[in-house]
Structure 1
Amino acid sequence: MAGPDPYLADPQDLAVLLKLPADDVRLLAALRAATRRFRGQVRHPVSKVTEDQVFLDGTGRPVLRLPAAPVLAVHSVLVDGEELTGVKVRRQAGLLLHPSGCWPEWSEVAVTYDHGNDPVPEDVAEVVVDQARTIYRTDPAIQQVTTGTESVSFAATAAVGITEQWRAAVEAHRLNRGDDA
């Protein structure tokens, strides 16, 4: 399996904004953190992954939801080790329709497929760069210094917030919304 790129945005785009070289260690760490944060919130890698194999449980229903989308290609579908052909795919939604009824309950469905975006959508790259820039500039700060009988406290930036643009991009690219309560 070829995994997703480590970054959802080009390090050079962040480097220009921060006036740093694109291989700066802290810059790359901030971009990696922003990428992990985005992927965690949308619940899939976003960028292209090839030959990914997932194991799902049969549901007793005609439709089976894959854990990542969009689906670029389905290479194989095995139900309890037996090849199943004629499976229909809803590419954008990441859904598989059983060709002759329902996915058998208590069965293991192994799917090998390619999924994701190549290139990464511009709105995703933009918010990841923006978040990485904020992460890079966040100073953990010294919270308190004590010398003898004197003590001084400083404010510390506890967390990096999100923008409306970030929220909109997450909402647009998030999968599996059915478990929201």
Structure 2
Amino acid sequence: MRQRRAPVGPDPFLAPAADLAVMLAVPADDVQLLAALRAASARFRGQVRHPVSLVTDDTTVLDGSGRALLQLPAAPVVAIHSVRVDGVTLEGVRVRRQAGLLLHPGGCWDEWSEVEVRWDHGHAPVPADVAEAVIDQARTIYRTDPAIQQITTGTESVSFAATAAVGITEQWRAAVEAHRLNRGDDA
């Protein structure tokens, strides 16, 4: 898959900075807050394998699948503006919007074809379960001090790594599972 032009979007954040600011009792433009929210949003996008938030006028170039269905790299599909196969516009393509699948109107996508799709995809607004999980993760990232590796008080000592300190919650796991694409390569 190759992107031909930069799509409009996505917003760098999957949750409102103001919501996180209230929880942390800091201003919404706090640099550390924004960095934590950006990191949590990027982590979520990486785990679900698509931008989640609305992207408009995106152009994606895929190789044919050799099957009747062609998996797009994001969902839900908001609009398909055009589908071109080896430079020729293909009419009558059907779409399964929530799954991000294209059905070839005349049989199958030739696996030696280049399929160019101009489309809009993603959520506007971002689903509440995603925003809540991202805010929770950002709050944890915000409160984790990457410089601290060991704390000693009297005779007790605790050591930890910053990467281990930011795990996942059940809420995060459920949101990722609900919005993740391309589950077939998990084996």
TM-score range, shorter chain: over 0.9
- For this pair of structures, how many residues does the alignment match? 174
In 2: Cα distance, 1:117 partner to 1:3 partner:
11
Tell me which of 156, 160, 176 is aligned to 1:156: 160
**Cα deviation, residue 141, structure 1:** 3.5
The aligned counterpart of 1:177 is 183
* Identity across the alignment (%): 76
CA RMSD of aligned residues (A): 1.5
**Cα deviation, residue 105, structure 1:** 1.9
The aligned counterpart of 2:110 is 104
On the 8 A contact 2:83/2:115 being kept in 1, the answer is yes
Structure 1 segments unaligned to the other structure (5+ residues): 145-152
In 2: Cα distance, 1:6 partner to 1:143 partner:
30
On the 8 A contact 1:142/1:154 being kept in 2, the answer is no
In 2: Cα distance, 1:26 partner to 1:165 partner:
23
The aligned counterpart of 2:13 is 7
The 5 A counterparts of 1:11-22 are: 11-22=17-28
Structure 2 segments unaligned to the other structure (5+ residues): 1-6, 151-156
Displaced runs of 4 or more, over 4 A: none
The 5 A counterparts of 1:20-169 are: 20-143=26-149, 155-158=159-162, 159=164, 160-169=166-175
On the 8 A contact 1:7/1:32 being kept in 2, the answer is yes
Partner-residue secondary structure (3-state), 2:70: strand
On the 8 A contact 1:38/1:128 being kept in 2, the answer is yes
In 1: Cα distance, 2:50 partner to 2:148 partner:
36
Partner-residue secondary structure (3-state), 2:172: helix
In 1: Cα distance, 2:60 partner to 2:67 partner:
18
In 1: Cα distance, 2:134 partner to 2:65 partner:
35
Q: 1:143 to 1:60 in 2, by over 3 A?
A: closer
Partner-residue secondary structure (3-state), 2:159: coil
User: What is the TM-score when the length of structure 1 is the normalising length?
Assistant: 0.92
**Cα deviation, residue 154, structure 1:** 6.1
On the 8 A contact 1:59/1:105 being kept in 2, the answer is yes
In 1: Cα distance, 2:149 partner to 2:57 partner:
48
User: What is the TM-score when the length of structure 2 is the normalising length?
Assistant: 0.89
